Amino acid sequence: MKPHEFIAKYALIDCRYPYEYRGGHIKGALNIYDPVVLENSFFPKCPKTLKIMIEKIPIFYCEYSSARGPLLASHLRKSDRVRNYDKYPYLYYNEIYVLQGGYNSFYNSDDECFKDLCEPTGYVPMHDKMFADEFKIYHMRNVRNGIGLETGMFQTAVIKKNPDIRRSHSVPQMPESPTTSQFASMQSSPEKKLPSNTDDTNTTVSIPMLTNPRTPTGRKK
């Protein structure tokens, strides 16, 4: 898959704080760490813009994809469900993914070509001492919004059991973080989808390339 094809099909969301994003991020990723901004971006009031957005598949990541990424992914699913409560099981975004291992695994992959997909080529950890003051500001803001904690809304990310997919830990534990070399294969391998079904269970899974916090529970109309 070529870069412009990837951008047309997927919406890559970097959930880290601005100073982390500025220090290096995956090319084409949008820096969204605030749930209000997330909702405004994925549920725009303009019908034409919304129609364009819902054609994309969101992929979230943070530093390790262990808290901020999964929680914002769950927030998007919860908001989607609320907006379409009277059309259950219909959803605007049937598929939502979380990049396994986050930016840390992506940037530190054994495959050096991964660094070529980052701009600028760098990695600023969340707890970098140079940005201690900024961290306190953004972290407290996210705590007030319920983002940044490894509990809460992540429990809304449940999926249909599927015997063909390797099962990971049950909610509310975080997904596993294998090497990100699997993510690179997405650019050349056919997309792997989970079946649509309305029977949800409290199980998370790990699939090749990405972690999907919840299987599609409705088909787009």
Q: Which residues are catalytic?
A: 62
**How far apart (Å, rounded) are the C-alpha atoms in residues 42 and 46?**
11
CB of 166 closer than 8 Å to CB of 93: no
| DSSP structure string for 20-66 | HHHT-EETT-EE---HHHHHHHHS-SSHHHHHHHTTSEEEEE-SSSS
Strand positions, DSSP E, the chain: 10-14, 25-26, 30-31, 57-61, 96-99, 118-119, 210-214
Whats the size of the chain, residue-wise?
Answer: 221
**How far apart (Å, rounded) are the C-alpha atoms in residues 128 and 131?**
6
**How far apart (Å, rounded) are the C-alpha atoms in residues 28 and 190?**
21
**How far apart (Å, rounded) are the C-alpha atoms in residues 33 and 18?**
8
**How far apart (Å, rounded) are the C-alpha atoms in residues 128 and 133?**
10
* 138-141 contacts at long range (C-beta below 8 A, 24 or more positions apart): 138/17, 138/18, 138/33, 139/17, 141/34
